[in-house]
Amino acid sequence: MPIRVSLDRILIDRRMSLTELADRVGVTVANLSILKAGRARAVRFSTLAALCRELDCQPGDLLVYEPGPAEEPEDEL
């Protein structure tokens, strides 16, 4: 997938654990782990906003587009 999630780097910069972030945002550690590993297929804007609020960052700090080989189009938006 051409979208890379930089959550691990930001957590290190903020000296915050995934568990602490999960508690602050109201998302399970399991779901944040999926996002951190780049395996999430979607992220709600409300979750993205809460992550940005708690990490004091912008969405572009968390998500980076890295073009690569052409991929099959997805049905979801």
In tens, the pLDDT along 29-65 reads 999 999 999 999 999 999 999 999 999 999 999 999 9
Full-model pTM = 0.83
Distance (Å, whole) CA 66 – CA 20: 29
The pLDDT of residue 76: 60
Q: Which tokens hold the place of 19?
A: 């568990």
Q: Which residues pair with 3 in a beta bridge?
A: 65
Distance (Å, whole) CA 34 – CA 7: 11
Which one-letter DSSP state was computed for residue 38?
T
How many percent of the chain have pLDDT more than 70? 88
Distance (Å, whole) CA 6 – CA 61: 7
Quick one: fold of 3-65?
434 Repressor (Amino-terminal Domain) (1.10.260)
Q: Which tokens hold the place of 52?
A: 């940005």
The pLDDT of residue 60: 95
